[in-house]
Amino acid sequence: MYIITCFVIYPVKSEKNMKKYVVIGDPVAHSRSPGMQNAAFAHYGLGRPYDRLLVKAEKFEEFVSFARRELAGFNLTVPHKSLILPYLKTVTPAAAAAGSVNTVTVIDGEFHGDSTDGYGLEMALKRNFGISPAGKRFVFAGCGGAAHATAFHLAEQGAKSIFLANRTVAKAEELAGKLKEFAPETEVETAALNDIPRLQEFFRKADVLIQATSLGLRESDPPPFPLELLEENRELCVYDTIYHETPVQKRAKELDLKYADGMWMLIYQGARSFEIWTGKSAPVEEMLRGFQEDTPCVLY
């Protein structure tokens, strides 16, 4: 079967009558989801029904029509996590509050939305640091998509405090307002990333730092905050949502802080998507191997 999208023909690799799944985004060629999801499906003898699909924002309606007819489920990445909201019949409370959905189940042509990013972060924190969100204080560096997708889950799971630091304070305050409404028992404070005294306070009080900016994707990127701030709290656990070494990770290592990259968050969010779609327990270690062995698509 073939889908025509953005004037290019892309195959969806699946056998006849097999339930089909995709991850959509723009860009999407870098996604490791097919490797890990197909490893999980193959573990249960369900073939390899999961593929990448490039979908431009202006082609989103076209994709929606296709998905209603042809798919059993799909994942969404940038810029589609909020675009899908008007098309959902149901959505979980945390995903609705965050305005971010990354997992859709298709039942009789209707869409049911969830966000598994927060679950992925929760499980990664347990695996990497042995901690759970309840009663913990978190500081987010960056209030973009990654923070929106995960902060509500941490609050829902009983986080004591969430400190939001962003280059644009208004964006941090907007997110803070939504969090306070969603989880009034969670303390929420904001600051600018260049407000050093305020950041020092946040870093001293926090149990976990979540590096949620895109800074570090390129080798030339500067750190999102002065790295000497990591010296404020030698018990701080540093979680970087980027899954290769960044300046933040490098400095955390030099200071002998507990730190981790974003690999396990990605694997666990995918594992939760698989469980939502199939009702089967995700084979996490096999998904890890699939993630590591996946080759980014070079068609586009």
* Terminal-to-terminal C-alpha distance of the chain: 18
Q: Among 136, 122, 129, which Cα is nearest to 207's?
A: 136
- Which one of the listed residues 13, 20, 81, 280 is annotated catalytic? 81
Angle (CA) 147-100-61 rounded to 5° is 145
Give the count of alpha carbons within 13 A of 25, CB side only: 19
81 catalytic? Reply is yes
CA pair distance 233, 165, nearest whole angstrom:
17
User: What is the edge-to-edge ordering of all strands in the sheet holding 137-141?
Assistant: 187-192, 161-166, 137-141, 208-211, 237-240, 258-260
Burial class (CB in 10 A: 0-12, 13-18, 19+), 248: buried
Could you list the active site residues? Answer: 81
